[in-house]
Amino acid sequence: MDRLDGTIGAGGSSWIRKVVVAADGSPASLQGLERAADLAVRLGAKVVVVFVRHFPATALMANPVTEPNLMAALDEQESEVRQAVLRLVGSTGVAWEFVVRLGSPGEEIVKVAEEKSVDLIVIGSDRHSSLHNLLLGSTAAYVTTHSPSPVLVVRSAAQSKRAALMEVIRS
């Protein structure tokens, strides 16, 4: 008799075969990497890690002499993210790839998801103080609005602890 109950496991039946995870080195993105790696192991899915080299608008208007410093900082950030990916995803034994893009993080994450025909996007989010970013953060908000795939938003542990503390204080 065929199994139709949707039971999943390593290499088992699942609609999630390819997962994009955004990585920028922040605590929230590291938790997103951990969650994506865990899901990939459980589901037998491939992980596509997206790192976006983002130039803030103010940097583009600044003195061109500072550009080498910005490039060096982006190179260092990319190297740190690659090391985290090797540690968190590479050690699991799942298939994975590292994609580097230049541009707006939200737009590039969505583009990669479309190009790779992914089944799920995982993105870490630290809530910021501005009203626009109050619920998710600007990149997570963009991705959830424009993604062709379902999106799993992972809060950083620090954010979760702050929210729990605020609940206790309100009680």
Tell me the pLDDT tens digit for each residue of 76-89: 999 999 999 999 99
Count of domains for the chain: 1
Q: Can you give the pTM of this predicted structure?
A: 0.77
Q: What percent of the chain has pLDDT over 90?
A: 59
Q: Domain with 25 in it: what CATH number?
A: 3.40.50.620
Any domain includes 12: no
Any domain includes 39: yes
Expressed as residue numbers, the domain containing 93 is 18-170
Any domain includes 130: yes
Any domain includes 1: no
Any domain includes 2: no
Per-residue CA distances from 131 to 29, 134, 160, 162, 163 (Å) = 21, 5, 19, 18, 17
DSSP strand pairing (151-155 vs 46-53): unpaired
Phi and psi at 148, nearest 5°, equal: -80, -10
Any domain includes 10: no
Distance in angstroms (rounded) separating the CA atoms of residues 113 and 150:
10
